[in-house]
Structure 1
Amino acid sequence: MKESDKNIENLIDKMMAENTLESPSMDFTSKIMSQVLESEKSKSKVYKPLISKTTWILIGIALAFLFIYNVYFVGTENNLDIGKSYTDKISAIVSGIHISKTIIYAILIVPFMILIQVGVLKNYFDKKYEL
């Protein structure tokens, strides 16, 4: 076993003596870094909004339609009776509920604060992940 190890070691020594040490070119690092940057650019994600423009347009059209419908058609005599009966039922259900001023203030302020936090966090993450 030792004899075969010595033969292998002698063979490796001869092979190492025949080959000279190769060094990379002078601009090796810049070439590698340019390839890394190109691969990073190709991997970067393109911003895609959560709600597309067409969806926003459809939501706007639906809201406009509801507004126009409410202004021109709900105020007529036929719909007034139906609306009044629903209003009476809703007021009968809600009349037993008492809400303190603190709860009302919280209901009004919390959505506003959430919107502010969303804006602040969006700016923070945009700056953090900016290339």
Structure 2
Amino acid sequence: MNDKANNQIEKLADRLMKESSLESPSMDFTSQVMAKVDALAKSDVTAYRPLISKRVWTIVAIVMIASVVYLMFNGANEESILASVDLSVLSENKLTNAFSGLNFSRTIAYAVGILALMMA
């Protein structure tokens, strides 16, 4: 039964192929396609614009130079702001005391360090 159905379908397909004519493109098909390709190729060219303008770079350079000059002339006479900051709060609190007994092997420390570098 299955072979009969396949033969009938095959005969029908053969008959339809013989009856249909071969389609061919128009005479100017190639020129039409190439005209469309040329139209796509002639897109607007984007001019390069830097993300940070020259004016901003100039302002940054002036601020940096002014900071260096200020620190050269006035930095030695005044007390540093960092000297007045109490950093013992970072080392003497409940959180750091809770984890002070943990010891990690060098392998774990290297693995965590390399992972942090890879994610940065």
If the length of structure 2 is used for normalisation, what is the TM-score? 0.41
If the length of structure 1 is used for normalisation, what is the TM-score? 0.38
The structure number with the bigger radius of gyration is: 2
